Amino acid sequence: QVQLVQSGGGLVQAGGSLRLSCVASGHTFSSYAMGWFRLAPGKEREFVAGISWSGDTTYYIDSVKGRFTVSRDNAKRTVYLQMNSLKPEDTAIYYCAADVEGRILGPYDYWGQGTHVTVSS
């Protein structure tokens, strides 16, 4: 069983920045692929970014490329999502997730509790 505990998020003006963190339990975090998803009002859950177990490979959806950066610190069992140049359309509940088989594109096995990100115009 893997537990993911998220922190960060909040309210920010358009153009601002936020950083989300996600700390994982378990001793094999360094073998997991980690991902970030978001759920916006009236929309389906969307895969935002992913990172390989080593951190060497990352994946982003087009709408966040150049603005969001996913990174990880395996020694701290933590994955981050740095969000810059935020837009109102980034408003959503953000979830981190772990794929214990190391698959960046999922399907992802464990989920964090979610954290709200609100971007005001």
Residue % of the chain over a pLDDT of 90: 93
Residue 106 CA to residue 60 CA, distance in Å, equals 13
Contacts of 75 (CB under 8 A, 6+ apart): none
Q: How confident is the model at residue 53 (pLDDT cuts 50, 70, 90)?
A: very high
pLDDT tens-digit map of 19-32: 999 999 977 888 89
The pLDDT value given to residue 80: 98
